[in-house]
Structure 1
Amino acid sequence: MLWLSEVLMQNQDLESFQELLELVRQRAREGERFLSSDVKPPFPDTPPDWEERIEAAFTSPLS
């Protein structure tokens, strides 16, 4: 299970929501099968629909 909080803690050098989306896509390509959006990303560019965008990046890792 990929926990969003764990991704953020392990990658404190991330500077934007867009970078986080790319990392989520990468982890999905590497074989992660489940995702938990357990915390809101702390970036200024985090959109209101952040949960849906993260889920879309995870389920469509090639886009």
Structure 2
Amino acid sequence: MGNDLIHIYSVEKAYLAELIKQMLADHNIRAFLVNKQDSAYKFGEIEVFVDRDDVIRAKMLIQEFEDN
């Protein structure tokens, strides 16, 4: 795996970010979440990052996840 992390997805709801992270882990893809929400008002997004080598496969899995 490469060392470069690439932003592949953003979502406003924390539970969806965690579901996506777990789904990617189930497919042996390490995902990292960066919470950019304001702590008081929950404005902003949670960003999902993966290793550069996993970007294409992760995007395909997220698309399948969204379609179901």
Query: TM-score, normalized by length of structure 2?
Result: 0.37
Question: Which has the greater radius of gyration?
Answer: 2
Larger proportion of strand: 2
Query: TM-score, normalized by length of structure 1?
Result: 0.39
Larger proportion of helix: 1
